[in-house]
Structure 1
Amino acid sequence: MAPEDSAEAAPLLRSFERRFLAARALSSFPWQSLEEKLRDSSGSELLLDILQKTVKHPLCMKHPPSVKYAWSFLSELIRKPSGDSITLCESTAIISHGTTGLVTWNAALYLAEWAMENPAGFAHRTVLELGSGAGLTGLAICKMCRPRAYVFSDYHSHVLEQLQGNVLLNGLSLEPNVAALAQHPEHDTADAESPRVMVARVDWDVVTVPQLAAFQPDIVIAADVLYCPETVLSLVGVLQKLSACQKDQRVPDAYVAFTIRNPETCQLFTTELGRAGIPWEEVPRHDQKLFPYEEHSEMAILKLML
């Protein structure tokens, strides 16, 4: 931000800082002044400055506010430059109904941030997400990156039910099947307001190449799915099947985001990728943090060359 812009923004930043540190009601924040400032300045730099004065403030890092308050604030902040927000219904328990897919994990936040920083990689393309969980990453991409179509997928019945609810909760309509997803050519234009969306049950161990190819994916993503050796092996298996899904004589791009909890599990993943003949490279880390994370979380995104 230019020095003159920084000086003009200083009172606004102080106002956000004081209200956030005091945990004031969100309605008391100077949102209208922020919107006016965003129209006249570099929005991304101003929003980063606000993040540094609020959720990234040293006092908040040491004594964080409630997760609910931080989420509500960030949802309102994201809404200002984009004109939109994401609403999620998720479980309050880490494991519920025998699955971890009913809550949002850190790598899903990290992948969503990366996608919002790189929207051109998703624009006017068909995205297949493996293990969508509560759906935050996909909803962020649908609202911010203008994909042509988006397929949320999981295998647990409770997760799929929650996914469908979250998609509808955010104003997106659901296609009933793959055939319907491939219709509506008017959505293929750059002027389409929202992507075609479907929620699909995909069991990595039994899904076939023709079933995956029917989605016609241009790009495949997954977040926080490396939580045990069995899952790693299943994931690599489905990635091998996806490598046979050619669209316009090319295979889809693939990105896998994960939190580095157990280095041995991560090592197993890269080892199995090598055995499957799938080259990979690590995506450069991004620094723009829009969401609150657990302390000391280390995350990574791998780009796979299927």
Structure 2
Amino acid sequence: MSGSATRRAGGTFDAKKYLPRVVHAYSALTPPRFLKIPSIFSFSDVHDFFLIDILLDDHLNKYPPARDYQRSFWKWALEKLESLSGDEEDNEIDERMYQHYTTLISSVANALPSDSYITHYWKPLDPTLSSDVEVESTYEMITLLESRATIAAGTTGLRTWRASFALAQFLVEHTDLVARRAVLELGSGTGFLGILIASLHLRFDSTSAVPTDCSRSADPPTIYLTDVNPCVLDRCQHNIKLPCNRSSSHPNIEYRLLDWCDAIFSRDSLASFFANTSAEIILGADVVFDPAMVPPLVATLSVALSQGRPRVALIGITIRNQATISYFLQEIEKALMVVEVQHTMEDSFISLTLDQVDAELEVKILKITKVASLFFSAS
């Protein structure tokens, strides 16, 4: 089918709506085996998309996926273009794509996967837009420099895990929980949730629930990002300050090394820290993974929720070991009120993490309070 025939059949319209999803997948290092290009799309539509929206894109050139991932992607992309070109003489693949692939296959492969920039796209709720609008300008980006190894530098904190995506989607769907409130995160890792919270803060002014990019009369609330590992906290800060992330312009982000064991051995010092923060929301994603860390985590949450103003914790937990989860619930329910909140896993974040080691695991989101929360209404 010629390009003009495809356009008459509506192929161009469908391509413009569908192909940006391939950019999202490429940016998030989704393996090419999960990617599809419908055969109804014309060669010119797909060719120009690969050239302009991926190869020549400014953001993807400044924050590129790892070279070994690019190598597999461009092999797939060129094979797809060659199959679409058929015998049409006008269907010529731009030499720049072949040249780029040549530089990738000539590079020396590393034994271990290298760190990589990863960009996730998310769609803020906007009541002025229809829910089925797929306009690229309606998306925001979160770009991270991450490890692609399960464990790097002795920690799992240098990559983003499934529970963070689930908790992020929940917060996007319940924006009012964080949009105008100070937030403290336990185990901030790569900074994924910190960037999201900062973006939500900057989309909302201090008095209105309507998204805005206009200047505000008051600074946004403070975000406190904490982790026990200095290397992880440094990476978190690096990602938060990347110029491409909206979080880089947030004026009130603080970073702190925080050891949950201090809740047991230095309780007064930790209590003072939490009392001095203005946080109303405590977040934690994938923080329940080691039975030995359950007592310190429970003690930390108990201290955090007992200091100052009424607070609520939202904890995303991945069900890896049911015995560990049961132990955590048994201990936390001795000190605090726990309610599981409903959430969806069918979202733009999760769909791009199909190959992660925890991709098929269940995630629960728990609301934890010292007393019944007056402002938390999501269920």
Same fold, judged at TM 0.5 (above): yes
1:237 matched residue in structure 2: 299
The answer to whether structure 1 residue 12 and structure 2 residue 76 are counterparts is no
- Residue correspondences, number: 238
Does 200-209 or 219-228 show the bigger shift?
200-209
Counterpart Cα distance in 2 of 1:217 and 1:14: 45
Q: What's the CA shift for 1:288? A: 4.5
Task: Decide whether the 8 Å contact of 2:183 with 2:283 is kept in 1.
Answer: yes
TM-score of the two chains, using structure 2 as the length reference: 0.56
1:281 matched residue in structure 2: 339
The answer to whether structure 1 residue 137 and structure 2 residue 193 are counterparts is yes
If you compute each CA radius of gyration, which structure gives the higher value, 1 or 2? Answer: 2
Does 123-132 or 201-210 show the bigger shift?
201-210
Task: Decide whether the 8 Å contact of 1:129 with 1:222 is kept in 2.
Answer: yes
The answer to whether structure 1 residue 87 and structure 2 residue 143 are counterparts is yes
Deviations 1:55-113 (A, max 9, x none): xxxxxxxxxxxxx9xx658479896214x421111112111111111110010111111
- Match for 1:286: what amino acid? T
Q: What's the CA shift for 1:16? A: 4.1
Describe how 1:37-186 pairs up with structure 2 within 5 A.
74=121, 80-82=137-139, 84-146=140-202, 148-169=221-242, 170=245, 172=247
Percent identity, aligned pairs only, is: 29
Task: Decide whether the 8 Å contact of 1:113 with 1:288 is kept in 2.
Answer: no
Structure 2 residues without counterparts, runs of 5 or longer: 1-9, 23-35, 38-45, 54-114, 124-133, 203-219, 264-269, 371-379
Q: What's the CA shift for 1:27? A: 5.6
- Match for 1:12: what amino acid? F
Specify whether residues 78 and 195 from structure 1 end up closer, same or farther in structure 2 by C-alpha distance, changes over 3 A only. farther
TM-score of the two chains, using structure 1 as the length reference: 0.69
Counterpart Cα distance in 2 of 1:229 and 1:254: 20
Q: What is the root-mean-square deviation of aligned Cα atoms in Å?
A: 3.2
Counterpart Cα distance in 1 of 2:11 and 2:367: 40
Task: Decide whether the 8 Å contact of 1:101 with 1:134 is kept in 2.
Answer: yes
- Match for 1:266: what amino acid? I
- Match for 2:365: what amino acid? I
Q: What's the CA shift for 1:17? A: 3.7
The answer to whether structure 1 residue 211 and structure 2 residue 259 are counterparts is no
Specify whether residues 73 and 136 from structure 1 end up closer, same or farther in structure 2 by C-alpha distance, changes over 3 A only. closer
Counterpart Cα distance in 2 of 1:198 and 1:111: 21
Task: Decide whether the 8 Å contact of 2:260 with 2:297 is kept in 1.
Answer: yes
| Corresponding residue to 2:366 among 299, 302, 305 | 302
Q: What's the CA shift for 1:270? A: 0.7
Task: Decide whether the 8 Å contact of 2:188 with 2:225 is kept in 1.
Answer: yes
Structure 1 residues without counterparts, runs of 5 or longer: 1-8, 30-67, 174-192
- Match for 1:112: what amino acid? A
Deviations 1:124-150 (A, max 9, x none): 211000000001012112113446111
Counterpart Cα distance in 1 of 2:19 and 2:180: 41
- Match for 2:254: what amino acid? M
- Match for 1:282: what amino acid? E
Structure 1 residue matching 2:292: 3-state secondary structure: helix
Specify whether residues 196 and 271 from structure 1 end up closer, same or farther in structure 2 by C-alpha distance, changes over 3 A only. same
The answer to whether structure 1 residue 262 and structure 2 residue 352 are counterparts is no
